[in-house]
Amino acid sequence: MFLWSASLRNRFTIAVCVLAVASGCAMQRFLRVEERQIDARLRFFLGGGGNSLVLTHGKQAFLIDVKFAGASKSLRHRVETELERSVRRAMVTHSHFDHAGGLDEFRNLGPVLIHPNARQRLEADGVRAQWIDVEGPLELQLEDEVVRVWHPGTGHTDGDLVAYLVHRKLLVTGDLVSADMEPVIDVEAGGDVLAWAGTLKGLLELDFVTALPGHGPPIGRDTLVRLHEYLTLLEREVSVAQQQGLSEDDVVAKVSLVETPALEPVPFAANREKTIRLMDRALRARRSTKE
């Protein structure tokens, strides 16, 4: 979710500590790790940065998202020392530090599945790993579990991967969906509010029952449906306002989104007004490209 790069990790840690004191529950929920054991082989580690998933197979574990440095140390201790599984394969959903910043903590880590755009950003920040670039679908067979990994389209960034645990009908979305939070659009990392609804529409065609979002507790299909409806309605209302010749500020004042329930703002990263402004700019840019 957060947009700081790995090279800013010290400043990030200080900022997080200050925010944790200052802003109460939302940030404490972001920092605190909650382990949820789904069954003998599957666990979610919510918080401590982005959510993580651990799927064990034999003496090994497949890990999705490694959190930021401090939380990844605890995650590694839990999986490697207490659960006695070695993490030999991992996937990072995107390049943001709260999801991928802890890669250095996992010694003996083998291949790391990643989108090439996310890999380039992490490499620019000095992060090294045995990367495997993924864009189209790639399938892992881990004992009797099938995990499908692919890039479903642009939204949060232009380098997000999702994973689908086929037999469990479980989708891992990274920050393409966070539980009832305002969507964070990282424009510098290729994020695109206009493309996001189409990406979600593709995900909704999957036969999933539960999703592990980038942040917050596990969700059902309804959360993706709500986010898709919100972005679709936003595009429509902003388009109508622009057709009346309004400026960006007037568009912000005009768009009501009365049918859309409020989403929780993300401190310093996302709120309703910011999303409207980004949609306004994206639609104007698309129109000027066509002209």
Burial class for 276, CB neighbours closer than 10 Å (0-12, 13-18, 19+): buried
Comparison of 189 and 282: residue with beta carbon closer to Zn ion: 189
Query: Dihedral angle at the C-alpha atoms of 110, 115, 118, 124, nearest 10 degrees?
Result: 60
Contact 157, 191 (CB under 8 A): yes
Answer for the pair 146, 140: CB distance below 8 angstroms, yes or no: yes
Binding interface with Zn ion (CB under 5 A): 1, 96, 175
Q: Within a 10 A sphere around the Cβ of 104, how many other Cβ atoms?
A: 16
Determine the residue type at 154.
T
Q: Shortest Cβ distance from residue 142 to Zn ion (Å)?
A: 25
Give φ, ψ of 165 to 5 degrees.
-90, 100
Listed residue (136, 138, 166, 165) closest to 152, CA to CA: 136
To the nearest whole angstrom, how small is the minimum distance from the Cβ of residue 99 to Zn ion? 6
Q: Which is nearer to Zn ion, 175 or 192 (CB)?
A: 175
Q: Which is nearer to Zn ion, 184 or 251 (CB)?
A: 184
Tokens 């037999």 found at: 167
- Whole-number minimum distance, CB 95 to Zn ion, in Å? 8
Give the residue with the Cβ less far from Zn ion, 56 or 117.
117
Least distance (Å) from Zn ion to the CB of residue 94?
Answer: 5
The distance of closest approach from Cβ of residue 275 to Zn ion in the complex, given in angstroms and rounded to an integer, is 15
Taking the complex as a whole, the smallest distance from the CB of residue 156 to Zn ion amounts, in Å, to 6
Burial 66-83 (b: 16+ CB within 10 A, else e): bbbbbbbbbbbebbbeee
The smaller minimum CB distance to Zn ion, of residues 206 and 269, is found at 269
Smaller CB distance to Zn ion: residue 182 or 237?
182
